[in-house]
Structure formats: C-alpha cells, structure tokens
Chains A and B, each alone.
Chain A
Amino acid sequence: MKKKLLALLLAGVMALSLAACGKKSDEAISVCLASEPDTLDPALNSAVDGATLIAHLFSGLAKWELDEKGNLAIVADCAKELVDGVVGADGKVTYTYTLRDGLKWSDGKALTAKDFEFAWKRAASEELGADYGYMFEVVDGYADGNLNVTAKDDKTLVVVLSNAVSYWNELLAFPTYFPVREDVVASESWATDPKTYICNGPYTMTSWDHNSLIVLTKNDKYADANKVTMGKINFYLSDDANNMLSNFKNGDWQLIDDVPTNEIAALKTAYPNEFVVAGQIGTYYVCWNVNEKILPADFYKKNDAAAAEKAEAEVRNAVSLLFDRNYIAEEIGQAGQVPASSFVAMGMTDADGSQFYKNAGHSSSYVGYFDTAKSATESNFAAAVEILKKYYNYDASAKKFTNFPTMTYLYNTSEGHKAIGEYLQSAMASVGITMNLTNQEWATFLNTRKNGDYSIARNGWLADFNDPISFLDMWTTASGNNDVQLGKGEHENIKLYDLDLSSLGYDVKVKSGTWAQTYDKLIELIKGCTDTNKRYQLMHIAEDLLMSTGTICPLYYYTDIYMISEKVDGFFANPLGYKYFMYTTIKEK
C-alpha cells in the first residue's frame, strides 16, 4: 500500500516537472504588456498596448526608429520620403506623398494610395465612433465630415491640413493613420481572427488565443523585411502584475510592462539593469471642481461672483503649495516620478526644441508655477498658510484653520491612488482642513468626474502626440474632457479673466471676460496659428491662464516602468510608451 502510494506520488511529480520543461526557441521573444486588447483595428484602438501590437503589424507613411546615434527619430516608411508641406495663400498646407515601389499587403495584393485615403476617411468618420477619430482634426474638412485627402493615383497621396502642424510627421506614425483595405474591413470581425487580419507591417498575426497569447511572425512581404531581426514575438495577455513578475523572474518572459507597486523598491535593488524607468509625456494631478464653494459662507454674501471666484482661485493655488511633491514621488510613487510644477508635462518640446515645461511660469529662480525643490517645501507651506489666513479664521496656538469647509477627495479604486489621497489628506489636516476620501470603481468614477459631481478629484493625462495643445485644448468649455467644469454652470457667466494679445499682433484685448471669451478664444487662435514661435507663446499664455484658476494642482510627471531581460538587445520605446521588438536579438548565455 505504502509503496503504491509512493510510486503514485513519484509519477505525479514526474508529470509535473515534464510539463514545466518548455522548449526554448532561439529567434522568439516573449513579452507581456497587458491583458486582451479590446481591438487591433488601427482606427479603433486607443490603448498603448494595442498601439504597440499594431505598430508591429502595420506600416504607415512614417515610423519610429533609432537612428545611427541611437536617438529616436521619425522616418519615412511607406512614403518614399517625408516631404515638406506647401503653404497656400489661405494658410492651408498641402502635402503630396509618393509611396515606395513594391508595397504589398500580407495576402500579396498591392498596397495603393487609395488604401490610405479609405483608411483615413474611415477612422475620422462619426459612424465608426473611434476614440481617436479626433486625431484627424488637423486635416482640412474634418469638421464637415469630409476629410481633404485624395489618392491622385496608385502611388500619390495628397492631403491638405487646415494650417501648419508641427507634429504632423508624428501623426503619420500614429496607428490611427495606418492604412487598411476596404474589402478587408468590410466585415466587422476582421480584426479578431488571424485568418482575416490582412496587414502590411513587419509582422503578420499567426495566432490569437483569446485572453492568452497573440503570436506575430515576421512578414517577408514587408518592404524592409531584411532589417527585421526577430522572427517571432509572443505577446502574452495578462493584466496581473504579480503574475507578470513571476513569469519574468523564472525567465519565461523577457519584457513585462507592469510590476506590483509594493515590489518596486525591492526590484530596483535586485534588478538594477533590468528595472527600467522611462519618461512618459503625462501629468498626474488633482483637479478641483471650479463651481465648488470653498470659502466661508459669509464671504459669498459680501462679495460678487467674480470676486469670490478670484478668491477661490487664490485659495486653491495656496492649498497646492501645502503638498510636498518630492515626498509623493520618492516615498509613494517610488518609480522615478518627477515632481510637477506645471500642467503641460515634461517631455513636450517648445518652439526652440527645449523642454516646454522648463519655460513655463514666470519665475527666474525656479521652473514652472511654483518651486518644487526640496529646500522650498517649508517656505511653500508657510506662504500657503499666510494666503489662507486672508480668508479663514486661524487658531495661532493650534496652528490650524477653524472654518475651512470639509472637502471630499474622489479617486478611482487603486492602492496607489489611495496612498496619494491619504498623503494629501494628512497635509491638509496639518493646517486644520478636513478632507474625506472616497473611492469609486473606474467607470463610475469617470462618470462622476465628467459630470462635475465632486469637489476635488484625482486626475491624470497622457499626451497622444508631442505638442502642448494636447494638454491645453481639453479645457475649452465644450471639451468632453473638461472635468473641472470651466466655463460651465455658474462659471459660465463669471467675468474675471483678462487677455491681451496685442503685443503678438492680434486684435484681441479682453478685460474681465468670461472663460469662453478668453481661454476658448486662445485655443481657437492656437489651432489656426501658422507661426511656430507665436503659436508656442500663445500656448504658454493659455497655460498661464489655466494655472491661474488654481483648479489644476499638478503632482508629478508620469514615468513608464517596465522590466526587460538583460539578454535582449536592440529594444526601444517611444515617448508615447509604444515598445518596439522588431530589431531585437536575444543573447544566449
């Protein structure tokens, strides 16, 4: 009996160890970015992991690549070259692209300029309802639903932009701008099955085991196939950070795009060469509802709405100074986050190629709208208290304000957001301001914040392209992302803002105007401006105006953390967080 039991046990152990021995292939890389992508249709995708997959499967007019010096650059892909636009008398800019010879779809059919025209018009259409349809906003005719793009012949694509756009080439390398073929996308399920997934990029999809694994295999019909070094990419689909880490540690996966937050500190020391903190163009911030009453009740009785709004803006900006952003970045985030003192994120370039955020604000002694240096923490705090004393009763012995209304901080359920919320709560409590924390599940949270049913909320924004306008146009009155409710509700009629652009040659001089008369006007001017220098100046003015409301309290600039095996060579990622595996090789030790 005992012997039989032992034999059974041994057999079991043997079976288990056999199953664990996977065969390793030399020319394949296994990575895990996220769980099942919602879609791999280039027009419909709006996720970073989906974009990475699509960048391997499709090839647009332009692509991201490392140049000889190892710097990231945008180079021509399907286009022979990235031509300069021709500016017309009306300020519209026309680009004429010639496609390279011998471009083919993965099923062997020729790729033509018509495919680009079709794909762009489809992606921008309202019927499709794509999240990123607005990426075509810069193209002439977008507003009327008739995109000004034409295929002159099989090789020539002509596109007209409403005005000069400095990030146009970057848009060409963006997945929404990739070509698709009309007969392929006619069936809505085309992008869910490898058999019907006809693409034109460095790889084709050879299998998609839903929720488990997507396998890409090198596409020999791709024009630059000879440059592609990695034969096969296994994209494992999982969103469990602990699970990803287990697979990375045991060597099954070479790159994982997420790690458990509580492991970050340990991983940084245990894997100094494999734990990567990369820049990302995004800002983590706290937003206030502009219509929330935060002053003592009698202030509103004695003052008009504009004066109250002005005082509220001062209070919000003062509260922002109570927070120690270095503590948040180093002790809570722990992933190399950079303390933020402006809304437009680090990584955005200015007109002269320098960093936009470094030119923000008006101080000569620090960068941005307030000083985030560690040495300034105490003086910021003291300055905040002095400002708040103007509006609230201060108990000098307890060093606390006694009549600041109780606030509620709303965040979406997550340990990381909670930790930050708790810090903000303690910082405010130290001057006697009570702030309760409340969390909601993601979709509910988005809904609440969008409707303005909150007083203070967690927020974050990642740019889709390297131009500050992607941070600024979201605060116009009509924008769907205007969670602060600027220009809405009571704020619509508040006449408080000044705008004088006569020095820049514009006939705009507004004194005590509404949000729509000032900010919306500014954004409209920026979008129509063809002079690069002037355009960036306008964008700085817009950010000044936005920050003066105090409704945006930036905490830190995002970073992207991932782990990549030391065995992998030739890997790179772009500022939007897309990761590129086509030029990788794996060193065998």
Chain B
Amino acid sequence: MNSKTLGYILKRVLLSILTVWVVITITFFVMHAVPGGPFLSEKAISEKAQAALEAKYGLDKPLHIQYFTYLKDIVTKFDFGPSLKQRGRNVIDIIKDGMRVSAKLGVIAAGIALAVGVVLGSVAALRRNRIIDKVIMVVTTAFVSMPSFIMGSFLLLLFAVKLRLLPANGATSGGLILPVITLSLSPMAYITRLTRSSMLDVLGQDYIRTAKAKGVPAGKIIFGHALKNSLIPVITYFGPMLAYIVTGSLVVEQIFAVPGIGRAFVNCITSRDYPLLMGTTIVLATLIVVMNLVSDILYKVVDPRINLE
C-alpha cells in the first residue's frame, strides 16, 4: 500500500467521522423538535413528578447544553446514557442485546446472499441461454423486485401458518430461519444478476481466450481468472447491500418479532426515548459509513488498476 492510498483512507476516515457527527446533530435537534415527550402517557402524571423526572434526566436544561453534554459524554466516556422508557437499563446494554441478534441475522443473510448469489450467477453465465439460465433469471427478477415486507409476510404465511414447518416468532429456536431467508433473497438475486453479467463480460475478454488457447483447464480458467475478476462489481455492491440489510431488518424484525436493534429503533421513536433513539441512530449510521469505506478499500485491493483518487 503506498502513501497515496494511505492518505486516501485517512481522508475517508475523517469524512466518515464528519458524516456521523452531522447525523448526530440533525437527529438530536429534529428529535427534540417533534411534539410529545418521553413522559407523556394517556394517564397524565403530576406536573411536579414530571419536573422531577425531567430534572433527573437533564431534560430541563436548554437544548444546546443538552447537546454538548451528550456529545461530551459520548466522546470522553463512550456513555450513551440511560433509557427513559425501559427504566433501569442503559442504552448501551439495549443496543448490545439488539446488535447481538441483528448482527447474527445480518451476517448470515449477507453470507447466504453472497455465496448463493455468486454460485447461481456463475452457473447462469456458464450455461447462458440454456433452460437453467432462464429459470435463474426469471426467479431472480421476481426476488429483486419484491419488497421484503411482502416476501416476509408470504413466507410467514406459507411456512409458519399453513405448513407449520418453521416457527413464526424470531425469538424462538430456529426462528431466525425465515427472517434470514427474507432478508437475503433480494440481495442474493441482485448478486446473481451482477455476477452473471460481469462473468459474461469477463468470459469474452482477450485474456480468457488466450488462456483457453494455451490449453489451461476450464476449472482453472473459471476459478483462477474469470471469477476473481467478475467479482469486482459484486464488491461495489457490498456497501449498498449492507444498507439494504440494515434498513430491511427494520421491517423484517417487525414482521417476525425478532428482538433486534431494528425493532428497538422503531419502538424508541414512537415512545420518544431520546437517548435510545440517538444511540441506535449513531450505531446504524456508523455501520453504514464504515461498511461503505471498507467496500471502497476492498475495491482497490481486488483491482489494482483502480485509482482511488
């Protein structure tokens, strides 16, 4: 790695930090601008009790003071504060609990999408215009265009209710199977199509023809030369795929009642749990920013021709 690349990475890291800070700032002020508060309920508590609670959590201070205190706590102590709704629990613990489940769900889904997608894409490319290619193309077109909430509801109805093969609740053993499938189908289909077209492109390149002419065995051509080069577009898709899985999990976790961070995120908005909302936003934003960065760097590693400037 030369100094130019290092400089590029450093620049990107700084930009990422800036991005996360902007996200924090916007979320913080927008969140407080939304009407309603964390201590509001159908049955009103007394004004004194409300004031006591606001003082306890520092919500009685001016907004800009709250903002700077919040930033300071995160930067200096990595302290995300206590949850206002789930009393007695810290935001960091709730996020850890949620991330454990969501990360499992996301990593498995991404893994399946990649593995199955690349294999199917290669098969389709190598058997171009045969029946298997056509089947794969039709099915993947359907999967790419079907939103996850429809796919999730459909799988739930079929496997959990009608066939009773799999549990409907994502918190039970084996309960992650359906959410993983739901979440992986769309990116898997997209990767299949990407791999197919780039594989076809690569197979038509001169160096493949040269290799064939030199008598290199077909397996070596495909795995040694064609596959590696046809994966470049797949790697560029890595960032968007992660974004899809993170946002898709918001919906999928809701459908299958998976106790992940996506569900915590949706719920804390409704309940105006400010610290939890900030915490989950920061985690999700950081995740997407970092993954995009990693994907860009990987890009360079796989294809040295690419100039990162």
- At the interface, yes or no: A133 with Cβ under 8 Å from chain B? yes
Residues of chain B lying within 8 A (CB to CB) of residue A36: 86, 259
Contact of A22 among B36, B172, B259, B270 (CB under 8 A): B172
With A19-B173, A129-B52 known to touch, is A448 a contact of B35 (CB < 8 Å)?
Answer: yes
Contact of B45 among A133, A192, A242, A448 (CB under 8 A): A133
Tell me if B34 and A480 are in contact (CB < 8 A): no
| A interface, size bucket | 35 or more
C-alpha gap A371/B84 in the complex (Å): 46
Contact of A46 among B41, B53, B164 (CB under 8 A): B41
- At the interface, yes or no: B39 with Cβ under 8 Å from chain A? yes
- At the interface, yes or no: B97 with Cβ under 8 Å from chain A? yes
Tell me if A20 and B167 are in contact (CB < 8 A): yes
Within 8 A of A (CB), among B30-58: 34-37, 39-50, 52-53, 56
Residues of chain A lying within 8 A (CB to CB) of residue B173: 19, 22
Determine the residue in chain B with the shortest Cβ distance to A461: B42
Tell me if B88 and A444 are in contact (CB < 8 A): no
Residues of chain A lying within 8 A (CB to CB) of residue B297: none
- At the interface, yes or no: A71 with Cβ under 8 Å from chain B? no
- At the interface, yes or no: A395 with Cβ under 8 Å from chain B? no
- At the interface, yes or no: A240 with Cβ under 8 Å from chain B? yes
Residues of chain B lying within 8 A (CB to CB) of residue A460: 42
Determine the residue in chain B with the shortest Cβ distance to A193: B88
- At the interface, yes or no: B174 with Cβ under 8 Å from chain A? yes
C-alpha gap A460/B271 in the complex (Å): 19
Contact of A192 among B86, B167, B260 (CB under 8 A): B86
- At the interface, yes or no: B156 with Cβ under 8 Å from chain A? yes
B249 to chain A, nearest CB (A): 14
Tell me if A238 and B88 are in contact (CB < 8 A): no
B196-204, B212-220, B238-246, B250-258 - the one binding chain A:
B250-258
- At the interface, yes or no: B137 with Cβ under 8 Å from chain A? no
The 8 A CB mask of A101-129 against B (1 = contact, 0 = none) is 00000000000000000000000001111
The 8 A CB mask of B84-105 against A (1 = contact, 0 = none) is 0111111000100110000000
Determine the residue in chain A with the shortest Cβ distance to B159: A16
- At the interface, yes or no: A131 with Cβ under 8 Å from chain B? yes
Tell me if A210 and B259 are in contact (CB < 8 A): yes
- At the interface, yes or no: A243 with Cβ under 8 Å from chain B? yes
Tell me if A20 and B255 are in contact (CB < 8 A): no
Residues of chain B lying within 8 A (CB to CB) of residue A430: none
Contact of A212 among B88, B153, B259 (CB under 8 A): B259
Residues of chain B lying within 8 A (CB to CB) of residue A408: none
C-alpha gap A22/B264 in the complex (Å): 27
The 8 A CB mask of A3-36 against B (1 = contact, 0 = none) is 0000000000000110110100000000000011
Within 8 A of B (CB), among A192-230: 192, 209-213
Tell me if A41 and B87 are in contact (CB < 8 A): yes
Residues of chain A lying within 8 A (CB to CB) of residue B17: none
- At the interface, yes or no: B291 with Cβ under 8 Å from chain A? no
Residues of chain A lying within 8 A (CB to CB) of residue B87: 38-39, 41, 44, 188, 191
Within 8 A of B (CB), among A160-205: 188-192
Tell me if A246 and B35 are in contact (CB < 8 A): no
Determine the residue in chain A with the shortest Cβ distance to B272: A443
Determine the residue in chain B with the shortest Cβ distance to A459: B42
With A246-B168, A247-B167, A443-B36 known to touch, is A188 a contact of B88 (CB < 8 Å)?
Answer: yes
With A129-B45, A131-B41, A446-B40 known to touch, is A246 a contact of B161 (CB < 8 Å)?
Answer: yes
Residues of chain B lying within 8 A (CB to CB) of residue A443: 34-37, 40, 270-272
A576 to chain B, nearest CB (A): 13
Tell me if B264 and A447 are in contact (CB < 8 A): no
Contact of B167 among A252, A447, A480, A481 (CB under 8 A): A252
- At the interface, yes or no: A300 with Cβ under 8 Å from chain B? no
Tell me if B172 and A252 are in contact (CB < 8 A): yes
Residues of chain B lying within 8 A (CB to CB) of residue A188: 82, 87-88
Within 8 A of B (CB), among A475-505: 479-481
Chain A interface, DSSP helix/strand/loop, else mixed = loop
C-alpha gap A19/B180 in the complex (Å): 14
Contact of B86 among A39, A252, A441, A450 (CB under 8 A): A39
Tell me if A240 and B254 are in contact (CB < 8 A): yes
C-alpha gap A239/B264 in the complex (Å): 12
Tell me if A247 and B263 are in contact (CB < 8 A): no
- At the interface, yes or no: A130 with Cβ under 8 Å from chain B? yes
- At the interface, yes or no: A237 with Cβ under 8 Å from chain B? yes
Residues of chain A lying within 8 A (CB to CB) of residue B39: 129
Tell me if A209 and B52 are in contact (CB < 8 A): no
- At the interface, yes or no: B232 with Cβ under 8 Å from chain A? no
Residues of chain A lying within 8 A (CB to CB) of residue B98: 211
B84 to chain A, nearest CB (A): 10
Tell me if A240 and B257 are in contact (CB < 8 A): yes
- At the interface, yes or no: B166 with Cβ under 8 Å from chain A? yes
A528 to chain B, nearest CB (A): 20
Tell me if B171 and A212 are in contact (CB < 8 A): yes
Tell me if A447 and B171 are in contact (CB < 8 A): no
Tell me if A238 and B270 are in contact (CB < 8 A): no
Determine the residue in chain B with the shortest Cβ distance to A482: B44
Contact of A447 among B40, B161, B166 (CB under 8 A): B40
Residues of chain A lying within 8 A (CB to CB) of residue B82: 188
The 8 A CB mask of A47-86 against B (1 = contact, 0 = none) is 0000000000000000000000000000000000000000
C-alpha gap A210/B46 in the complex (Å): 30
- At the interface, yes or no: B306 with Cβ under 8 Å from chain A? no
Contact of A209 among B254, B259, B270, B272 (CB under 8 A): B259
Tell me if A236 and B169 are in contact (CB < 8 A): yes
B264 to chain A, nearest CB (A): 7
Contact of B44 among A38, A129, A247, A480 (CB under 8 A): A480
Determine the residue in chain B with the shortest Cβ distance to A250: B164
- At the interface, yes or no: A370 with Cβ under 8 Å from chain B? no
Residues of chain A lying within 8 A (CB to CB) of residue B40: 443, 446-447, 450
Residues of chain B lying within 8 A (CB to CB) of residue A567: none
Residues of chain B lying within 8 A (CB to CB) of residue A128: 49
- At the interface, yes or no: B136 with Cβ under 8 Å from chain A? no
A92 to chain B, nearest CB (A): 23
- At the interface, yes or no: A442 with Cβ under 8 Å from chain B? yes
Within 8 A of B (CB), among A278-309: none
Residues of chain A lying within 8 A (CB to CB) of residue B161: 246, 249-250
Determine the residue in chain B with the shortest Cβ distance to A446: B40
Tell me if B88 and A41 are in contact (CB < 8 A): yes
The 8 A CB mask of A526-558 against B (1 = contact, 0 = none) is 000000000000000000000000000000000
B43 to chain A, nearest CB (A): 6
- At the interface, yes or no: A134 with Cβ under 8 Å from chain B? yes
C-alpha gap A447/B50 in the complex (Å): 14
C-alpha gap A448/B263 in the complex (Å): 26
C-alpha gap A501/B186 in the complex (Å): 72
Tell me if A250 and B37 are in contact (CB < 8 A): no
- At the interface, yes or no: B25 with Cβ under 8 Å from chain A? no
C-alpha gap A450/B256 in the complex (Å): 35
Tell me if A238 and B267 are in contact (CB < 8 A): no
Determine the residue in chain A with the shortest Cβ distance to B90: A189
- At the interface, yes or no: B208 with Cβ under 8 Å from chain A? no
A132 to chain B, nearest CB (A): 8
Determine the residue in chain A with the shortest Cβ distance to B36: A443
Residues of chain B lying within 8 A (CB to CB) of residue A191: 87-88
C-alpha gap A20/B163 in the complex (Å): 11
Q: Given A210-B259, A243-B256, output 11 extra A-B contacts at Cβ < 8 Å.
A: A22-B167, A22-B172, A41-B88, A211-B264, A212-B259, A250-B160, A252-B172, A443-B35, A443-B37, A450-B44, A460-B42
Q: Which 5 A-B pairs have the closest CB atoms?
A: A480-B44, A19-B174, A211-B259, A443-B36, A212-B171
Name 27 A/B residue pairs within 8 A (Cβ), A-sorted. Answer: A19-B173, A19-B177, A20-B167, A36-B86, A38-B86, A41-B88, A129-B39, A130-B45, A131-B45, A133-B45, A188-B87, A210-B259, A236-B169, A240-B254, A243-B255, A243-B256, A246-B168, A250-B160, A250-B167, A252-B167, A252-B168, A252-B169, A444-B34, A447-B35, A480-B44, A480-B46, A480-B47
